[in-house]
Structure 1
Amino acid sequence: MLKNNILKNFYSTHSEQYILASLILYNNSWNDIYYFLSIDNFFFKNHQIIFSIILEFLNLNIDFDIYSIYNRIKIYSNFNFLNYLNYILQKTPNPYNIVYYAHIIHNMYLLRKILLFSNNIVNNILKSEKLNISEMLFNIELNIFDIIKDHLKEKSDSYLLSNIFNKYFLDKNFLKNFCISTGFKDLDNIIKKISGGDLLIVAGRPSMGKTSFSLNIAKNVSDKYSLPVIIFSMEMSSNQILLKFLSCILNEDQDFINKTLNSEILNNFNKNYLKLIYSLKIFIDETVNLNIIQIYTKCKFLIKEHGSLGLIIVDYLQLMNSTNPSQNRVLEISEISRSLKCLAKELNVPIIAISQLNRNLESRTNKRPLISDLRESGSIEQDADIVLFIYRDEIYDSKNLLNKNIVEIIVSKHRNGPLGTTNLYFFDDKSKFSDF
């Protein structure tokens, strides 16, 4: 067990008293620290009680002083709060230092969480006769993610308009990495490329080419921008994804590659093809039933290793696990889609999430998808910045040769621009899309 005296180095009595006194004397100073300081950040129970009463007044937008706090708090008769409040107010704090002391309190709180969490890991290992390593690692990831979320509260989400203007127009590196092209000219003309932080949903019925379309974008991003791309493939194996990439790059039928390609034949291919294959920074993760915490951890590791990340692809959204399992799958999918959007914003990386459609459209005469066709949609359409539907008329009317190899990309939602439809050529046997 963790000894109590170890924690004595991980709290600051002075800082906690300073914050409480500042808030009592200068109510408006709360505006400087509201975005990260919370009740559990305080170490002492008495300080938590005082701070909770202060929050009540702040939330009701009522001015308060030492006496209004005491009148609300005097039900706690086991402690002389009035004398204590008078004592801390004698410190006459300077409100301009409130952020500094609030950071001390918050950082001490995070260190206590890390210390207690680490101690629990050690105790569980020592006490358990039979360890479930996978379960233990998942719990570690969960706790680390929780601590990271608390730490990220410190970052202000508010930026002065002039600072945003300067960054947008004057920072060349910012402009250079601000958008990525899909690789398809007409589609880019509609959606104006994809920005960091965007959640893009690619949806369609089976056999429409959703995965191949996303892989074509991945190849373009890695090749054109020399940026790493990670593909979370929960349905296909890494070998199947490899075959799709080889087929697209080498412009050969997948069956031919799968049955006849060996190292000797491969050496006879155009060296430029081989150079491209070896230059692509594309990572394939075939772990099944991933949750958002695992995806976050893997992406952060790649960013740490390679300095950046150009694109994240999730294939597909409905195969992900929720971190809060429930009997209502729609609510779980809603939580997953919100988490993917938050992850895209946090990492400033676009995410393409492939999604299934329900069978309702099969009963319609016009089988082109609508937003309402998103399977277990929940809040997918609300969280997404862009929703693209892939539709192949030849699947339903194979006798009409005019439809052969033609795919409609239907932009059904575009948060920052127009809607529309564009056509692409799709060679299914080669997993290859090209401009119409």
Structure 2
Amino acid sequence: MAPLPAAMPHDLNAEQSVLGSILLDNDVLPDVCDELRVDDFYNPLCQKVFAAIVELYRESSPVDLVTLSDKMGSMGVPESVRSPEELGHIIVTVPTSTNVAKYVQIVKDKSYTRKLIRMTKDILERGYKNEEPSSQLIQSAESEIFRLSESLSSAESGDMSMFDIVMETLESINDAAANGGMVTGISTGFKYLDSQTAGLQPSDLILIAARPSMGKTAFALNIAENTALKQGIPTAIFSLEMSAVQLTKRFLSMHSGVNAQNIRTGQLSFDEWRQVTESANEYAAAKIFIDDTPGITLTQLRTKCRRLKAQQGLGIVFIDYLQLMEDDGRSNSIQEKTSKISRGLKAIAREIKCPIVALSQLSRSLESRTDKRPILSDLRDSGAIEQDADVVMFLHRDSYHDHDAEDQDVTEVIIGKQRNGPIGTIKLKWIAEQTKFANLEYKKRDE
């Protein structure tokens, strides 16, 4: 593997101009220190100078050639390179600090380019050694690109002025008023659930949790059908448990009204075939994108979501289910892995400005309680899920635990957490033969 060129991409004039702007006007220090790190500078002496400037800033001390020289001395820098005279030769004298933001941007851009080069070199060297499977190399490359891109996106997002925030807020309020104060996000298709949540909001992480056989997947598919077919919203489904064909069979049963078992076995009457075919034609034209990659990682998910957002205008994402995802590195425990994934999903939701609906398992501990309605502490594997989620919904059906229950086909949707709205319970009708839910009378249980 050929060595990297002696000099990597950098702009010495920009680095020196940043330092000169600080000396000229200490008022630019907060913005510069917020944007740059010591290793963003390429020139070794510029690194030492900026490190000393950061220390002076933390101490609330003035920054000039004298204080800078003294601070560098306390940090072990030889006097031969830190005297005020020597520093004056290195630091460019700029006529004004007005352009410091541009100098900072140049320094940052060169820094990210160098990081990308180093990362690429590492992957190339590992590839030439031929000691790892290609799949592992690809995953490593994706992970490194993800971290670098995430860092760059975070750096570029910047702060909004209060004026911009107020204008965006007023626009949001106006949109809500135009919708009659009801659904301001994406409708779930369930009337009373929408009245409680105002729909699924952009950038929110929504968690749907339940014990097995409560209908988590069916509930998510009901919402996905409504978003894609009835609202025309490009919808992505990442299915880690079921294949794309299995999911589509469920979709066809839900939409056509044909018994799911008949579709699975192919035992269909002429009329049922017609109903299924009509539904299939509607789904074939819908913007639903199903990815059934098992063990998908956060990096892979983010890459695919960003591509769908750019190419298809992605509007909502479903994940079935969270605990089957893999993190990009090594975690010491299931709890740590789940925490990383939940934080990552929230970050992706904010980046693509779409709601992400993630299904989750619940702890078995609730089975030992008399009242088996789930609560937040039942979330499996990590308390971070509860913290990261904007909305947490639980599914509960009495008839699952009590075969003599009065309402055999009623499922409760318990809103256990809603960051920007009320909690409570609404009821839906469970239609087992078609693995779907339907609207039922409204009932709210406040805690």
Deviates more, 1:370-379 or 1:221-230: 221-230
Deviates more, 1:290-299 or 1:21-30: 21-30
Change in 2 beyond 3 A, CA 1:92/1:337: same
Question: In the TM superposition, what are the counterparts of 1:134-213 in structure 2 within 5 Å?
Answer: 134-170=135-171, 179-213=185-219
Cα deviation, 1:370-403, whole Å, max 9, x if unaligned, reads 1001111221111110000000111011123x32
Question: In the TM superposition, what are the counterparts of 1:32-431 in structure 2 within 5 Å?
Answer: 32-74=31-73, 75-77=76-78, 79-82=80-83, 83-89=85-91, 91-125=93-127, 127-129=128-130, 132-170=133-171, 179-260=185-266, 268-269=274-275, 272-306=278-312, 308-400=313-405, 402-431=406-435
Aligned partner letter, 1:247: S
Please, what is the CA RMSD of the aligned residues? Answer: 2.6
- Which protein, 1 or 2, shows the higher relative CO under an 8 Å CA cutoff with sep ≥ 6? 1
Structure 2 unaligned spans of 5+ = 441-447
Distance 2:70 2:173 in 1: 57
Please tell me whether the aligned partners of residues 336 and 382 of structure 2 are also in contact (alpha carbons under 8 angstroms). no
Cα displacement (A) at 1:190? 0.7
Cα deviation, 1:113-156, whole Å, max 9, x if unaligned, reads 2333334444444x234662211211221222122123224324
* 2:437 equivalent in structure 1: 433
TM-score normalised over the length of structure 1: 0.91
Distance 1:255 1:21 in 2: 75
Cα displacement (A) at 1:69? 1.9
Identity percentage over the alignment?
33
Please tell me whether the aligned partners of residues 252 and 280 of structure 2 are also in contact (alpha carbons under 8 angstroms). no
Cα deviation, 1:214-271, whole Å, max 9, x if unaligned, reads 1111111112332221111111122221121111111122110011268987762377
Change in 2 beyond 3 A, CA 1:62/1:431: farther
Please tell me whether the aligned partners of residues 16 and 92 of structure 2 are also in contact (alpha carbons under 8 angstroms). no
Cα displacement (A) at 1:409? 0.3
Cα displacement (A) at 1:87? 1.9
Distance 1:84 1:253 in 2: 84
Distance 2:246 2:144 in 1: 34
Cα deviation, 1:250-297, whole Å, max 9, x if unaligned, reads 112211001126898776237753442122211121112222111101
Change in 2 beyond 3 A, CA 1:270/1:132: closer
Question: In the TM superposition, what are the counterparts of 1:26-37 in structure 2 within 5 Å?
Answer: 26-37=25-36
Change in 2 beyond 3 A, CA 1:261/1:310: farther
Change in 2 beyond 3 A, CA 1:195/1:362: same
SS in 2 for 1:403: coil
Deviates more, 1:26-35 or 1:266-275: 266-275
Please tell me whether the aligned partners of residues 331 and 378 of structure 1 are also in contact (alpha carbons under 8 angstroms). no
Aligned partner letter, 1:186: Y
TM-score normalised over the length of structure 2: 0.89
Cα deviation, 1:7-46, whole Å, max 9, x if unaligned, reads 45x2111100011122233222033344432222111121
Structure 1 unaligned spans of 5+ = none
Change in 2 beyond 3 A, CA 1:239/1:110: same
Distance 2:294 2:373 in 1: 30
Aligned partner letter, 1:147: L
SS in 2 for 1:352: strand
Cα deviation, 1:181-212, whole Å, max 9, x if unaligned, reads 11111001111111110001100111111111
SS in 2 for 1:96: coil
Aligned partner letter, 2:353: N
